[in-house]
Amino acid sequence: MSNKQLLDAAKARYQAFCDEGLSLDMTRGKPAPAQLDLSNELLTCLNTSGFKAADGTDCRNYGVLDGLPEARAFFAQYLEVAPNEVIVGGNASLNLMYDAMTRAMLFGVPGATSPWCRQGKIKWLCPAPGYDRHFNVCADMGIEMITIEMTDQGPDMDEVKRLVAADASIKGIWCVPRYSNPTGITYSDDVVDALAQMPTAAPDFRIFWDNAYNVHHLTDNPKPLRNIMDACKAAGHADRVYIFGSTSKITFAGAGIALLAASSNNLAEAKRHISMQTIGSDKLNQLRHLKFFGDMDGLRAVMRKHATILKPKFDMVLQVFRDELASTDLASWSEPEGGYFISLDTRPGLAGKVVAMAATAGVKLTGAGATYPHGKDPQNRNIRISPSLPSVEEIRKAMAVVSTCIKIASWESEA
Amino acid sequence: MSNKQLLDAAKARYQAFCDEGLSLDMTRGKPAPAQLDLSNELLTCLNTSGFKAADGTDCRNYGVLDGLPEARAFFAQYLEVAPNEVIVGGNASLNLMYDAMTRAMLFGVPGATSPWCRQGKIKWLCPAPGYDRHFNVCADMGIEMITIEMTDQGPDMDEVKRLVAADASIKGIWCVPRYSNPTGITYSDDVVDALAQMPTAAPDFRIFWDNAYNVHHLTDNPKPLRNIMDACKAAGHADRVYIFGSTSKITFAGAGIALLAASSNNLAEAKRHISMQTIGSDKLNQLRHLKFFGDMDGLRAVMRKHATILKPKFDMVLQVFRDELASTDLASWSEPEGGYFISLDTRPGLAGKVVAMAATAGVKLTGAGATYPHGKDPQNRNIRISPSLPSVEEIRKAMAVVSTCIKIASWESEA
């Protein structure tokens, strides 16, 4: 076929998709109902004689600021830190990140000479493509974002090291170290070590380490991730890292358990303020989770069931892209071994058009640009694919739509 | 008996209490286990087919920033505002208050020319005796607290009006309008109207209206409280008030539902930031509460059961005080018709000593001074009595200890 014929055929196919009246939502990394069903025991595992903690604490009542001792012990294992380095929070790790940033702005952090809001312009390193909600936190606080290129080993550390050594107004960096959102890569040991060891001009530099996909493997032999807390301690920078995690994509996305881990020095400072903010998080939900998991093996067993549901969805995205696009030079994509996303790159300048065309055909994708600070992808090429919520068949259809849109947008731009 | 003989008798009685090895905790307004038992249905009322909201929303999953529509409708009734004026939060209204203050500091509020942290010294009106955790929020933020005398009608409004008219750096006031913590009074209509109507030098003045004891009556004919939202709207000051509430002392103190109500203008501004902080609160716990209450009559029925448990405890405090102290001029106390506290005033200068003596005898009370900004009661006379947690018999004993301590401290100071 001629190029003209190929384009006409793609347009006809696109019109046929539009005529189908599709309505598929792939905007966010929402678990599917079948995944939520895996944790339904949470709904019923407490009863009228089962509301006490191991030490006799009535979990219905006030108290226990930093979480039940058994919850701190369990989630310390999960995050690979010491129990006294963990605070068990509410239902959203984003809330813990936002509040950590708020406290730094209003009060500073250990090592700071003053609150960040009193230090003039504050800047933050944003490896991108990255997570839009991270960038939103910076935007909300008026923190200037500096985009750092993501490599397949993690952030471009040459650039990171150069910047933080020279500029004391750079106060931190966002990191999703395992199955990075959206590229799916896991940070190499060298990157973790470099982050822990690098000299920073700011004495109050912080790594916001969002280990959201800590155990969210799609393979049986996951690549290990170096322990950032150990690396920071070994480098003499124990206060450098705040680690965040949650069970949002292990149990219930909207009713899970969020976690903050940090050095005892950082936690003491955080708790000085958190103790003014709340009397404690929902301990009954902590009990529910402990009963449901039993132990770390129990948690890992749940994750294997998630993988059984998720893997065919990821595979279908990749299969359609291979079938439709592998023989072309129109796009490239990640093939992640875990997490919630596939990162798709069109030719420069086309992501916005592809997302808009897909939406017109009834396939809602994460907005083009969302994976970059201020929602502006400088090359307008990155699209985040979220395969978790739709069915495998819906994904087949949705990715065919996206592939067709890519072809049309690419070929039209050649004309 | 001579004064010397009275003092010696009191000392002997005090020593006998000490020898008993008592261990009673009356430091906080914690519900008793029997009160928590009233809501045990919350532990079991959800099941594997009952996790959806009326509109089909899967409450296990992400989403719904401001609360389920039915939860907003229900709690709007509870707070006597419109459903679109309510946000349903997590398990702690203190958290909503702290975050509201944080947002005002970092971003300002509608009507503000700039964030409060950029306006130099900020001041806040603190009616006292009042709630220590309110004052702690101000202290944490570095906000200067101005103590306002509490009357039996509410804060001394002549003083409030004089101050806010003259000083634009006064940004707000803490209010517990019903069964005020700890004096137990309910604000008069005149006080509510004056708060709503008064001219303020600050264009961004806010009333933090903590209606924690909205339905927490000990009588069948509670004194009405004028609707602050209506009063503010009528005065052309719809944006002046943030209303807070919770079910912490209706259902489970540590696993209830917290509420923020404000004008649509205020809520839009708040949600602009909250949407960066979280994807939404625990909707399953909202469902639990809606199922448990059924409707407002159901909630009121729960509150009558609380009163049945609490009233004898309050009565016992008052009975011991009457028996021990009514014939003296050593102390005065409130006789509240609801809420969680009785406010006790010793002679000036003695509260600290009484609290310390009671502690030595095994009766832990809220620290003397806690009811004033910075924990400093200028007259060192106010003691907050929290009768909810101990049994009636324990209260009889504890109040006998306190009464004895008051006698000794008073008579020794006369010597």
A175, pLDDT greater than 80: yes
Residue A359 sits at the chain B interface (C-beta within 8 Å): no
Across the interface, whether the CB atoms of B276 and A105 are under 8 A apart is answered no
Q: Which residue is associated with the tokens 């595979």?
A: A315
Residue B386 sits at the chain A interface (C-beta within 8 Å): no
β-pair partners for A384: A343
B residues 203-262 near A, CB within 8 Å? 248, 252-255
Of the candidates B405, B401, B415, the residue with the CA atom closest to the CA atom of residue B330 = B405
CA–CA dist A104, A248 (Å, integer): 25
Q: Look up residue A56 and give its amino acid.
A: G
- Other CB atoms within a 10 A radius of the CB of residue A102 amount to 25
Q: What is the reported pLDDT for A49?
A: 86
How confident is residue A28, by pLDDT bands cut at 50, 70 and 90?
confident
Query: What residues have CB less than 8 Å from A393, skipping those under 6 apart?
Result: none
Q: Which residue is associated with the tokens 């958290």?
A: B95
User: Which candidate from B92, B102, B279 shows the least CB-CB separation from A94?
Assistant: B279
Chain A: closest CA distance from residue B55 (Å): 16
CA–CA dist B364, A364 (Å, integer): 60
Residues in A closer than 8 angstroms to B63, CB to CB, are 30, 254
SS3 track for B29-53 = CCCCHHHHHCCCHHHHCCCCCCCEC
- Other CB atoms within a 10 A radius of the CB of residue A212 amount to 22
Across the interface, whether the CB atoms of A282 and B48 are under 8 A apart is answered no
Across the interface, whether the CB atoms of B253 and A99 are under 8 A apart is answered no
How confident is residue A84, by pLDDT bands cut at 50, 70 and 90?
very high
Q: Determine whether A77 is exposed, middle or buried from the number of CB atoms within 10 Å of its CB (0-12, 13-18, 19+).
A: middle
CA–CA dist B62, A255 (Å, integer): 8
Residue A105 sits at the chain B interface (C-beta within 8 Å): yes
Chain A: closest CA distance from residue B251 (Å): 9
Across the interface, whether the CB atoms of A252 and B61 are under 8 A apart is answered yes
Phi, psi of B119 (to 5 degrees): -105, 25
Q: Determine whether B70 is exposed, middle or buried from the number of CB atoms within 10 Å of its CB (0-12, 13-18, 19+).
A: middle
Instruction: Evaluate whether A338 touches A390 at the Cβ level (below 8 Å).
Output: no
CA–CA dist A261, A211 (Å, integer): 11
Tokens of A166: 């020279």
Residues in A closer than 8 angstroms to B250, CB to CB, are none
Averaged confidence pLDDT in chain A: 97
| Coil, helix or strand at residue A330 | coil
Across the interface, whether the CB atoms of A278 and B95 are under 8 A apart is answered yes
Residue B92 sits at the chain A interface (C-beta within 8 Å): yes
Chain A: closest CA distance from residue B59 (Å): 7
DSSP A148-200: EEEETTEE-HHHHHHHHHH-TTEEEEEE--SS-TTT-----HHHHHHHHH---
ipTM: 0.97
The 8-class DSSP code of residue B253 comes to: T
Residues in A closer than 8 angstroms to B373, CB to CB, are none
pLDDT above 70: percentage of residues in chain A: 100
Q: Which of A42, A140, A145 to mutate to test the interface with B (most CBs of B within 10 A)?
A: A140
Chain A: closest CA distance from residue B133 (Å): 7
Instruction: Evaluate whether A111 touches A239 at the Cβ level (below 8 Å).
Output: yes
CA nearest to A101 within chain B: B277
A338, pLDDT greater than 80: yes
Of the candidates B250, B241, B252, B264, the residue with the CA atom closest to the CA atom of residue B100 = B241
CA–CA dist A191, A173 (Å, integer): 13
Q: How far is CA B402 from CA A45, B347, B348, B396, B409, in A?
A: 44, 14, 16, 10, 10
Residues in B closer than 8 angstroms to A133, CB to CB, are 276
pLDDT above 90: percentage of residues in chain A: 96
Q: What is the reported pLDDT for A142?
A: 97
Is the whole-model pTM more than 0.95?
yes
Q: Which residue is associated with the tokens 């009193």?
A: A118
B residues 50-79 near A, CB within 8 Å? 50-51, 58-64
Element (H, E) at B180: none
Across the interface, whether the CB atoms of A36 and B60 are under 8 A apart is answered yes
Across the interface, whether the CB atoms of A254 and B59 are under 8 A apart is answered yes
Query: What residues have CB less than 8 Å from B128, skipping those under 6 apart?
Result: B147, B148, B149, B150, B371, B372, B373, B377
Strand ranges (E), A31-162: 86-88, 123-128, 144-151, 154-155
Across the interface, whether the CB atoms of A91 and B140 are under 8 A apart is answered no
Query: What residues have CB less than 8 Å from B270, skipping those under 6 apart?
Result: B87, B100, B103, B260, B262
Of the candidates B9, B23, B12, the residue with the CA atom closest to the CA atom of residue B397 = B23
Q: What is the reported pLDDT for B289?
A: 98
Query: What residues have CB less than 8 Å from B393, skipping those under 6 apart?
Result: none
Residues in A closer than 8 angstroms to B274, CB to CB, are none
Q: How many CB pairs under 8 A join A and B?
A: 159
Residue B36 sits at the chain A interface (C-beta within 8 Å): yes
A residues 125-144 near B, CB within 8 Å? 133, 136-137, 139-141
What domains appear along chain B, each with residue ranges and CATH number?
A: 3-30+300-414 (3.90.1150.10), 55-294 (3.40.640.10)
How confident is residue A159, by pLDDT bands cut at 50, 70 and 90?
very high
Chain A: closest CA distance from residue B51 (Å): 8
Tokens of B215: 């339905």
Across the interface, whether the CB atoms of B44 and A48 are under 8 A apart is answered yes
Residues of chain B short of pLDDT 70, as ranges, are none
The 8-class DSSP code of residue B6 comes to: H
Residue B308 sits at the chain A interface (C-beta within 8 Å): no
Instruction: Calculate mean pLDDT across residues A236-257.
Output: 98
Element (H, E) at A395: helix A392-414
Of the candidates A224, A257, A262, A215, the residue with the CA atom closest to the CA atom of residue A78 = A215
| Coil, helix or strand at residue A141 | helix
Task: Give me the helices (H) in A249-391, please.
Answer: 264-277, 283-293, 296-325, 351-360
Instruction: Calculate mean pLDDT across residues A294-299.
Output: 98
A317, pLDDT greater than 80: yes
| Coil, helix or strand at residue A125 | strand
Q: What is the reported pLDDT for B294?
A: 98
DSSP A300-329: HHHHHHHHHHHHHHHHHHHHHHHHHHTTSS
A227, pLDDT greater than 90: yes
Compare B415 and A404 and report the one with higher pLDDT. A404
Across the interface, whether the CB atoms of B140 and A273 are under 8 A apart is answered yes
Across the interface, whether the CB atoms of B254 and A62 are under 8 A apart is answered yes
Q: Which of A101, A252, A289 to mutate to test the interface with B (most CBs of B within 10 A)?
A: A252
Candidate from A44-48, A168-172, A234-238, A292-296 with smallest mean pLDDT: A44-48
Q: How far is CA A239 from CA A66, A370, B12, in A?
A: 19, 31, 55
Phi, psi of B297 (to 5 degrees): -65, -40
A2, pLDDT greater than 90: no
Residues in B closer than 8 angstroms to A386, CB to CB, are none
The alpha carbon of residue B150 and the mean position of all alpha carbons in its chain are separated, in whole angstroms, by 14
